[in-house]
Amino acid sequence: MTDNPPPQDDLVQSLRERINTTQPHTARIWNYWLGGKDNYEVDRAAGDQIRQLHPGIGDYARADRLFLGRAVRHLVSDVGIRQFLDIGTGLPTADNTHEVAQRIAPDTRIVYVDNDPLVLAHARALLTSTPEGSTDYLDEDLRNVDAILEHAAKSLDLSRPVALMLLGVVIFVPDDEDPYALVRQLVDRLPAGSHLVLSHTVTSPAMPDVDEAVKFWNEHGTPKLTQRTPEQVTRFFDGLDLLEPGVVSCSRWRPDGADGAEPEEVAMFGGVARKN
C-alpha cells in the first residue's frame, strides 16, 4: 500500500468527507451493474434509468470485465508479462487484475491507480496479494503521469515490460485535454515489450440509444463522459503493434466460446497492443 498511510480513523474520516452520496457516480453504477454492493440508492436509480434508455448497458460492464480477464491471461501466459499498471481501477469486484494474473503467475506485481475515495477505501481492504508477488495502490489522477510513474517505480521495475491497463478510463478525459497525448506520455515512459490494454465506450449510428444514455449521464452524473467513435478509439494505439483481432467490441476480443458463434456486439470496444 502507499507509504506512511495516515492513521486509520483519520483516513476513514477523510474518505467520508470526499464521498458524495447525493449524486450518482460512475464507479458505483458500474459496480451496481456488475452485481456488487458498493453503491447507493442514487447510483441504483441512475443505473436503472440508464438501462431503460439503453437496455444493453449492463452488458458493457460484464463484457469489459471479461475482456480484462482474457487480456491479462494472454499477457501473463503467452507473453510472459509479470508487471501491471492498472489506472482507473474502479471498485474491486471479482477477478480483478491481480487475481487473474497471480492465479497464473503468483510472482506478478500490480500497481492500481484511482482517485475515487470509495475505491481507495475498498482497495486498502480488498486488493491483497500472493506472498510471491505484490499489489500496491495509489490515490492519483490519470493526468498526473509523473506522480503515477514515480510511485509505480517503487513496486515495478520500469526497465522491464509492463502492461498498462486503461479500461474505461480515458472516456473521462475530454478532447480539450488531449487524451491521446496523455496515453502517449504513459506509453513512451515504458520500455519496449510493454503492452497497452485499453477499452472505451463508443458512439455509433448503429447504436443511437448509447448516445441517449451518455447524454442522460452527463446531465445527472459525475464525472462527465466523452464519447468517441471506434476509429477514434483506435487512435489511442497509434505507433503500437495491435494484436489480433484489433480494436473490436470487448465481447469479440478473443472470446472463450467453444461453439464458434460470434458474440453479440456491445458499444464497449477494446484492444491490446505491443510497444516495439
* DSSP class of 153: T
What the chain holds in terms of domains, given with CATH numbers, is 8-275 (3.40.50.150)
**Contact yes or no for 138/111 (Cβ under 8 A):** yes
Q: Which residue, among 1, 61, 3, 50, has the nearest Cα to 24 in the 3D structure?
A: 50
Tens-digit pLDDT profile for residues 3-59: 444 444 565 556 656 677 777 777 788 788 877 788 888 889 888 888 887 777 777
Tens-digit pLDDT profile for residues 203-245: 877 777 788 888 887 887 777 889 999 999 999 999 999 999 9
| 123 φ, ψ (degrees, to nearest 5) | -60, -40
As a whole number of angstroms, the distance between CA 229 and CA 130 comes to 39
As a whole number of angstroms, the distance between CA 5 and CA 224 comes to 30
More confident residue, 193 or 264: 193
**Contact yes or no for 98/133 (Cβ under 8 A):** yes
pLDDT of residue 195 exceeding 60: yes
Tens-digit pLDDT profile for residues 122-165: 776 567 899 999 999 999 999 999 999 999 999 999 999 999 99
Q: Characterize 141-180 residue by residue with b for buried, 16 or more Cβ atoms within 10 angstroms of its Cβ, and e for exposed.
A: ebeebeebbebbeebbebeebbbbbbbbbbbbbeeeeebe
With 0-12 CB in 10 A as exposed, 13-18 as middle and 19+ as buried, what is 80?
Answer: exposed
pLDDT at 183: 98
Cβ within 8 Å of residue 32, ≥6 positions away: 39, 43, 44, 47
Question: pTM for this structure?
Answer: 0.86
